[in-house]
Structure 1
Amino acid sequence: MTTAPPDWIRAQRALAALAVDPAGLGGMVIRARPGPVRQRLEDGLELLPLPLRRVHPGLDDIQLFGGLDVAASLAGGGLVRQPGLAKHAAALVMPMAERVPPGLAARLARVLDGNSGHCLVLLDEGADPDETAPQVLTDRLAFHLDLSEIRATHALLRQPAPADMDAARAHLPRVEVPDEHLAQLAHLAARFGIHGLRAPLLTLRCARALAALDLRDRVTSEHLREAAEMVLPSRATQIPQAPDENDSPDPPRQQESEAQGDGAAMQDIPDELLVEAIAAILPPDLLTRLDRGGSARGGGQGFGAGGKRKGNRRGRPLPSRPGRPDGRARIDVVATLHAAAPWQPLRRAATPGTRHLIIHPGDLRLRRTEEHSDRLVILAVDSSGSAALARMAEAKGAVELMLAQAYAKRDLVALVTFRDTRAEVPLPPTRSLVQAKRRIAALPGGGGTPLAAGLRAAHDLALQGLRNGQSPCLALLTDGRGNIALDGSPGRAAAAADARDMARLWRDLGLPAIVIDTANRPGAEGAVLAGWLDARYLALPRADARRISAAADAALSG
């Protein structure tokens, strides 16, 4: 006789536990493409004691929180308010959860944190391992179910008769948890690299729901083990190490407590058995995901300098377009009146006695803007060697020129200098010309060329800029002849290897860069460095500040 795989049985138990305590467990993530397997599990959502509401990743603020229905108000001639989904407790089912934008994810997280009785079911249909639902939501949901390996024949097997859900929900408030389980769960989460208390608390709620399904008055060790297997594996960030044999084990704990109703004694499961049980069902690609560092979908590619995307400031206006107000878009009143004006004679003829302006929902026009992210120009200057004074003077002039242009273009400029054995950031990202002049007035020069250290400092500034919603780009002034490694030791071979590694880190970000070769007689080193960075190369051995600024602006803007 064919039996269902453990993952499918575990999914059914998770669904039953969610039906007992939907608000406490938050919900679940179901990772599966549309098909009979996912549909079978979706059919089980009818067990939830909440109305099911299917929502779209394009859900707007008015639909979620409620507000003034502008279109209905204009059509009816009076204020019409519509309630939002957040007003009444419901089970929100979100298909294509991997496409939920960050703003909507934050607002849904606020709804879940408001203790309003909602639960959320995310249907993750991502085809790529990096295409996943937003972490701000998945952290708040107890169960993460991956049904990609479940076959349709397993999903169609006869399921066990469901428990009496009404009796289980009524029994849930009476379920007690032994105190020793609390510390055991916290220790267990720490072994798997799970930080914070949300995961242990969700595990505890799951154990209580499982005990309520069995109509038990106390959480047993078996309930705790089953809950830990359902909640913790998807959150693990490390594989637990085996205990050191030299460590003296703690004396065995034998806690005997009478379970109410059956008189049987309960004994705690040893921590190592719990660890082994959870480790056995860890995601098979855990190590691969940790190597990728949990990179978000798309990584750093596509962030061109000044790229057209959602930025951190307003952009230039674009022509208005028809649409429905969603709580975020602004109505273009003039364009709306222009659209409605030609139809007024016909509309007034259809409604005799009407003297006011008649506006229909189709007349509404919404304002649009084209937003550009702030550009951060990182100017990395080689201040080493005998020509340092000349290059520093050129760099200071270039920075001042770029700062003067920043007032018109709203760019930020940062300065990185590298000499001797280290790199410094004398000028953090700024638009202030006064501050720039003060910081770069007396920069020292001379010493070795720690090219790798300069590239690493520029890379760190770029990552900080990306986190702030900016579009970094790099203008590197050097002859490319590094002779100091990252650890400060001299040697051209080691310095070149470290510079190549640091340059590839920048290239992996997909950000624009330009290498300006300032050597009196440019050699192959500058061009090779540009290749490592995937950057443009310009040989300007006698460049003045104005030529440097113009060349950098033209190359980085293109």
Structure 2
Amino acid sequence: MAADGASRDTAGTDAPDAPAEAPRISRWDDACLAAALFAVDPAGSGGISLRALPGPVRELWLELLQELLPADEPVRRVPLHIADGRLLGGLDLAATLRAGRPVAERGLLAEADGGVVLLAMAERVARSTAAHLSAALDSGEVLVERDGITARTPTRFGVVALDEGANDEEQVPTTLVDRFAILLDLGDIALREAMPADYDVGEILAARGRLDAIAVDDQALEAICGTALALGVDSLRASLAALRVARASAALAGRDAVTVEDVSAAARLVLAPRATQLPAPPDQPPPDEEPPPPPEENQDDNQDENQPPDQEIDKPLEEVVLEAAEAAIPANLLAMLQMGAMRSRSRSSGKSGAIQSGSLRGRPAGTRRGEPGAGARLSVIETLRAAAPWQRLRRQERTQTARNGGPAADLLVEVRHDDFRVTRYRQRSETTTIFVVDASGSAALHRLAEAKGAVELLLADCYVRRDRVAMIAFRGPGAELLLPPTRSLVRAKRGLAGLPGGGGTPLAAGIDAAVELADGVQRRGGTPVVVLLTDGRANVTREGIGGRAQAGEDALSSARAFRVAELKALVVDVSPRPRPDAEKLAREMGAVYLPLPHADAAALSGAVKAVS
């Protein structure tokens, strides 16, 4: 049976004298196993987050999943900008206008009862859509309260979220990921590795019949919870999801109870991708501990013949499962954990810019009550939808008016002023990263070289991220704009080729220039992010004259003005040894403080991406 791949790989070792290392299951084999386990229990697993760009590998996986699902099981695709009425159900506009009374229609989630929902471009899904899906997964029903209709429709389904994010900032909303059992990343799997799987729909149907009778002992539960704790997975949903996946694995393998292979598979698919820390190393025995005595000469040499050659049976179950999970941690996640760089990222803004709402341009994002004009566009369908529930009352009002001698009007649909709905649009503004570099003193050339390298690294992603980069250098009597906002790599290199350095430190002038440039970016609809590289020690006032005390006061005054402007900023302390000056400046600016005395271009570029 294909679900026993882990156990098959452990067989055949010729080293009975030493424990064999845990075999590393290929990522494609795990992806196929994930498809089979999801097909066994779609609603119980909640869903799969499939991170992969469109391509043959993703299509092969989706074809496998389609083959494993029973033919009569509904599969519904949720488009990116689906309306709430189509998703949840609501007013059937055509039937309501014909009948003259509210007529309800079934939503897409109700149609998917007992099947699978395919969520396209899940990393860009609207917040309301994610909330509706999460609520339906939790409650097993769809609640509709809109357009004069109140209804509850039972529905249970699993979700396959297609994550096409090009970078770490574009991810499926946490509210959905927390309810999915399995997280897959097919990004690094080559087409030659995507071999046909050994599963078929007959195995899936048989496993579904066994699923409810699968037994789970306390040792397996402790192994799951202990592995989650060791990997820093603090969500109880993840442990429950791992338990459901382990039971599905046992059912697929034809077993009556969960075994170590099933728990290890659940750890690889559910817990490893969610790891936020590396497991602690095992405790070492005390140095004065005596070694175990050698075996006696008359000991039966055949005593160990019944033991498996890999000797894994001697290890505690939790240790075996933890090793399997640690081996399955994705390479990029493992590197981040080793560097201690796990950070929470904001969904409201990022390298793609902040989300802006309006009624003029962008992607449709629902409707609002209002009048067309001044660029606002009338949504005819939503206007009729708002007017439809009131047609019977308005027809009665017209009849009563005619009986009282008023004018009679024979209208098929009466639309009033309060029914008007205009379309709302949403767009992402481009991000402009403004480097403000202290170009004073003997170390100026070193700092400018670092900034130059970081600018070039960020510009390499500009076409994908829709960013712009600018640079301000301050030295001597004031600040100078060296590189206006641009996404042209050629222009940036030309502007950065000969950067001046030396002189005093007009820190206040540099901050003021950053505020002025950021204000211009905001006026044009962009999102500015300021990166200030300095040691925080000013010695030139706003007037361009020397005086350390007055220059420090001017710098703090400019920092407070910067904070009032509510700009996002990062202060990089480039002094050889971090001093309180730059930290105090960052606190007054309301910025993130980063002591980086030995920064290189790559480290600075990574810090900018993290803060923005």
In 2, are the aligned partners of 1:318 and 1:368 still within 8 Å (CA)? no
- Correspondence for 2:82: 59
Is 1:296 aligned to 2:342, yes or no? no
Is 1:240 aligned to 2:279, yes or no? yes
CA distance in 2, matches of 1:98, 1:266: 42
In 1, are the aligned partners of 2:559 and 2:589 still within 8 Å (CA)? no
- Correspondence for 1:279: 326
In 2, are the aligned partners of 1:189 and 1:232 still within 8 Å (CA)? yes
Q: Which runs of structure 2 are paired with 1:156-555 in the superposition (5 Å)?
A: 157-162=195-200, 164-245=203-284, 269-286=316-333, 287-288=335-336, 291=341, 293-297=343-347, 298-299=349-350, 319=373, 321-323=377-379, 356-359=410-413, 366-367=421-422, 472=566, 494-502=579-587, 506=591
- Amino acid corresponding to residue 227 of structure 1 in structure 2: A
Q: CA distance change for structure 1 residues 96 and 153 in 2, over 3 Å: closer, same or farther? A: same
- Correspondence for 2:69: 48
Could you tell me how far 1:119 is from its partner in structure 2? 0.7
CA distance in 1, matches of 2:57, 2:425: 43
- Correspondence for 1:99: 124
- Amino acid corresponding to residue 367 of structure 1 in structure 2: V
TM-score by length of 1: 0.56
Cα deviation, 1:224-247, whole Å, max 9, x if unaligned, reads 111111111111111112133268
Q: Say which of 106, 115, 133 aligns to 2:172.
A: 133
- Amino acid corresponding to residue 158 of structure 1 in structure 2: P
CA distance in 2, matches of 1:128, 1:300: 9
Q: CA distance change for structure 1 residues 241 and 367 in 2, over 3 Å: closer, same or farther? A: same
Identity %: 33
- Correspondence for 1:25: 45
Q: CA distance change for structure 1 residues 452 and 220 in 2, over 3 Å: closer, same or farther? A: farther
- Amino acid corresponding to residue 70 of structure 1 in structure 2: L
CA distance in 1, matches of 2:286, 2:421: 68
3-state DSSP class of the match of 1:321? coil
Q: Which ranges in structure 1 are unaligned for 5 or more consecutive residues?
A: 250-264, 338-353, 372-447, 463-470, 475-492, 509-558
- Correspondence for 2:33: 13
Could you tell me how far 1:9 is from its partner in structure 2? 0.6
- Amino acid corresponding to residue 293 of structure 1 in structure 2: R
CA distance in 1, matches of 2:110, 2:345: 35
Deviates more, 1:181-190 or 1:276-285: 276-285
Cα deviation, 1:528-558, whole Å, max 9, x if unaligned, reads xxxxxxxxxxxxxxxxxxxxxxxxxxxxxxx
CA distance in 2, matches of 1:369, 1:51: 32
- Amino acid corresponding to residue 323 of structure 1 in structure 2: S
3-state DSSP class of the match of 1:167? helix
3-state DSSP class of the match of 1:239? coil
In 1, are the aligned partners of 2:165 and 2:171 still within 8 Å (CA)? yes
Cα deviation, 1:443-487, whole Å, max 9, x if unaligned, reads xxxxx99x989979x97xx9xxxxxxxx9569xxxxxxxxxxxxx
CA distance in 2, matches of 1:267, 1:360: 79
Could you tell me how far 1:102 is from its partner in structure 2? 1.4
- Correspondence for 2:91: 68
Could you tell me how far 1:40 is from its partner in structure 2? 1.1
Could you tell me how far 1:169 is from its partner in structure 2? 0.6
Q: Say which of 86, 109, 117 aligns to 2:156.
A: 117
- Amino acid corresponding to residue 346 of structure 2 in structure 1: A
In 2, are the aligned partners of 1:30 and 1:146 still within 8 Å (CA)? yes
Q: CA distance change for structure 1 residues 17 and 369 in 2, over 3 Å: closer, same or farther? A: closer
- Correspondence for 1:83: 106
In 2, are the aligned partners of 1:23 and 1:117 still within 8 Å (CA)? yes
3-state DSSP class of the match of 2:53? coil
- Correspondence for 2:398: none
- Correspondence for 1:444: none
CA distance in 2, matches of 1:63, 1:143: 27
3-state DSSP class of the match of 1:129? coil
CA distance in 2, matches of 1:270, 1:452: 59
CA distance in 1, matches of 2:215, 2:556: 59
In 2, are the aligned partners of 1:130 and 1:295 still within 8 Å (CA)? yes
3-state DSSP class of the match of 2:184? strand
In 2, are the aligned partners of 1:175 and 1:211 still within 8 Å (CA)? yes
CA distance in 2, matches of 1:111, 1:267: 44
Could you tell me how far 1:191 is from its partner in structure 2? 0.7
Aligned length: 362
In 2, are the aligned partners of 1:37 and 1:150 still within 8 Å (CA)? yes
CA distance in 2, matches of 1:97, 1:45: 18
Cα deviation, 1:118-156, whole Å, max 9, x if unaligned, reads 11100111111221111110111111111111222332x
- Amino acid corresponding to residue 88 of structure 2 in structure 1: F
In 2, are the aligned partners of 1:71 and 1:360 still within 8 Å (CA)? no
- Correspondence for 1:390: none
In 1, are the aligned partners of 2:90 and 2:107 still within 8 Å (CA)? yes
Is 1:36 aligned to 2:53, yes or no? no
TM-score by length of 2: 0.51
- Amino acid corresponding to residue 159 of structure 1 in structure 2: A
Q: CA distance change for structure 1 residues 368 and 472 in 2, over 3 Å: closer, same or farther? A: farther
Q: CA distance change for structure 1 residues 60 and 268 in 2, over 3 Å: closer, same or farther? A: farther
In 2, are the aligned partners of 1:192 and 1:237 still within 8 Å (CA)? yes
In 1, are the aligned partners of 2:122 and 2:162 still within 8 Å (CA)? yes
- Amino acid corresponding to residue 96 of structure 1 in structure 2: M
Cα deviation, 1:500-526, whole Å, max 9, x if unaligned, reads 443676389xxxxxxxxxxxxxxxxxx
CA distance in 1, matches of 2:232, 2:358: 35
In 1, are the aligned partners of 2:120 and 2:161 still within 8 Å (CA)? yes
Q: CA distance change for structure 1 residues 69 and 331 in 2, over 3 Å: closer, same or farther? A: closer
Q: Which ranges in structure 2 are unaligned for 5 or more consecutive residues?
A: 1-8, 10-23, 141-154, 290-311, 360-364, 392-407, 427-551, 569-577, 594-612
CA distance in 2, matches of 1:193, 1:454: 42
In 1, are the aligned partners of 2:88 and 2:109 still within 8 Å (CA)? yes
CA distance in 1, matches of 2:211, 2:259: 14
- Amino acid corresponding to residue 288 of structure 1 in structure 2: M
Q: CA distance change for structure 1 residues 315 and 176 in 2, over 3 Å: closer, same or farther? A: same
